[in-house]
Structure 1
Amino acid sequence: MTAERTATTETGRPLRRDAQRNRDAILAVARTAFAEQGINTSLEGIARQAGVAIGTLYRHFPRRLDLMQAIFDGKLESCVEAGERALTVPDAWEAFTGFLERLCELQAQDRGLNDLLSMTFSCDWTIDAHERIRELFAKVVARAHEDGRLRTDVTAEDLVLVVWSHTRVIEATRTSAPHAWRRHLALTLDGFRADRAHPLPEPPMAAAAVREAMAALGESVVWR
């Protein structure tokens, strides 16, 4: 995809050096802000940290979605590539579980991507990426069914539910137990098995960590 291409004006000419420098600064700050704070991060805060006026940010990115596309186009492509790589793995169950694990890992690394993987917007770039991911889900599910190790009633849509559930798990445990999602995913995958369960890779969260995660979720509520 083209998120990192050199920007041009509406006439197709390259940006002036100072304009390109401002755009690059906005993208650098936005990339970190979205990853740390999610897609609802303050655009005014991004502009301030980038050392530009908010009007300058809007000249380069008239809508939040335009800035999101510049940041997340390549990251969504990484999700698609993970599915394409999974289809080259000879073992169908390893391909199935590996694809889900990689998606959840990408979610855990970037709060904005974590948000974006559970949402669609009225724009082609998100709709297309989600559809490509769903198609890859269907293919890895079909291979695992043929292999006989995936329960026959699992569908590609069930994998979307895994992404949705991990969006919340990752959000809740980000600071208190950042690897808890691996345990949750392993539990989920054991539920998908046609034969038996296997040992989990992570211990359960401590009671204090659960309380901390619940408190953090409470503090995130906007009451007014």
Structure 2
Amino acid sequence: MTSPGRPLRRDAERNRQLLLDAASELFAERGLGVTLNDIAHHAGVGVGTAYRRFPNKEAVIDALFEQRLQAVAAVAHEALEDPDAWRGLVTFLERTLHMQFGDRGLTEIMNNPALGRQRVSDARDRIAPLIEALVDRAKQQGTVRADLDQTDLIFLQVALSAILDSTRAIAPDLYRRYLAILLDGIRPGGAPSPLPVRPLSAFQTHRAMTRNRPDVANA
């Protein structure tokens, strides 16, 4: 086992990343019930190698969650460096939503109530101050409504994540339409933005809303 302060050898780090990538894929496909043995087989590494990198599946989940927090924090810091506060805010929302689109395994972790309390607290403590700073800058520049709160952005992301996940297989870019509508809603005024994606038909909407219900999905 590598000591906490010592960097992993190149092959050890490669195996660790293979395991994390495999775990993310399996969590997305089969949920959190997969075992560390399953993850090792999917990654193409030996079970012993997996247990040298991670003592159990929970350690894999923690490592994935930490990666996501670091990535979101990095996006927020880059957005705060943009002198245009509105552009920085929009960039943050667009990039973090795109990250969620490409990472269904992490979505499974984030939305699992049995495993989420401590991780949600960690995310709140590390990410919320950055989002608050993005909102405060936009308020100071007069580019968002004065009553906008940083928690509003969190709930907007939750709503857009649900749209993204429901329509991923039917219209993967559809969430961008609703992002544009929501962005117009947090601006203080002006003409509405052109919507980048057409709406779904009634039939497509039905398919999206019932895709996980075997009793009606094929109706």
Report the residue type matching 2:122 in the other structure: D
Structure 1 unaligned regions, length at least 5:
1-6
Q: Is residue 179 of structure 2 the alignment partner of residue 185 of structure 1?
A: yes
2:96 to 87, 99, 103: 103
2:138 to 129, 144, 147: 144
Q: Is residue 32 of structure 2 the alignment partner of residue 40 of structure 1?
A: yes
Structure 2 unaligned regions, length at least 5:
none
Looking at structure 2, the residues matched to 41 and 178 of structure 1 have their Cα atoms a distance apart, in angstroms, of 27
Looking at structure 2, the residues matched to 149 and 130 of structure 1 have their Cα atoms a distance apart, in angstroms, of 25
For the residue of structure 2 that corresponds to 1:87, the secondary structure is helix
Q: Which runs of structure 2 are paired with 1:47-62 in the superposition (5 Å)?
A: 47-50=40-43, 57=50, 60-62=53-55
Aligned to 2:87: 94
Looking at structure 2, the residues matched to 8 and 170 of structure 1 have their Cα atoms a distance apart, in angstroms, of 39
Q: Is residue 22 of structure 2 the alignment partner of residue 26 of structure 1?
A: no
CA contact under 8 A between 1:25 and 1:50: conserved in structure 2?
Answer: yes
Q: Is residue 113 of structure 2 the alignment partner of residue 122 of structure 1?
A: no
Cα displacement (A) at 1:29: 1.9
Looking at structure 2, the residues matched to 158 and 73 of structure 1 have their Cα atoms a distance apart, in angstroms, of 24
For the residue of structure 2 that corresponds to 1:217, the secondary structure is coil
For the residue of structure 2 that corresponds to 1:216, the secondary structure is coil
The number of equivalent residue pairs is 208
Looking at structure 2, the residues matched to 22 and 90 of structure 1 have their Cα atoms a distance apart, in angstroms, of 40
For the residue of structure 1 that corresponds to 2:212, the secondary structure is helix
Report the residue type matching 2:66 in the other structure: D
Cα displacement (A) at 1:23: 5.2
Q: Is residue 192 of structure 2 the alignment partner of residue 200 of structure 1?
A: no
CA contact under 8 A between 2:32 and 2:108: conserved in structure 1?
Answer: no
Taking structure 2 as the reference length, the TM-score comes to: 0.78
**Gap change, CA 1:60 and 1:207, over 3 Å in 2:** same
**Gap change, CA 1:21 and 1:179, over 3 Å in 2:** closer
1:79-131 deviation digits (Å, cap 9, x = unpaired): 111111111111111111111111111111111233455674426xx643432
For the residue of structure 2 that corresponds to 1:154, the secondary structure is coil
Q: Larger deviation: 55-64 or 167-176? A: 55-64
**Gap change, CA 1:195 and 1:205, over 3 Å in 2:** same
Looking at structure 2, the residues matched to 13 and 96 of structure 1 have their Cα atoms a distance apart, in angstroms, of 35
Aligned to 1:132: 126
Cα displacement (A) at 1:21: 8.2
Query: Deviating runs (4+, > 6 A) in structure 1?
Result: 12-15, 19-22, 52-56
Instruction: Give the RMSD, CA atoms, in angstroms.
Output: 3.3
Cα displacement (A) at 1:217: 2.7
Aligned to 2:205: 210
Report the residue type matching 2:91 in the other structure: G
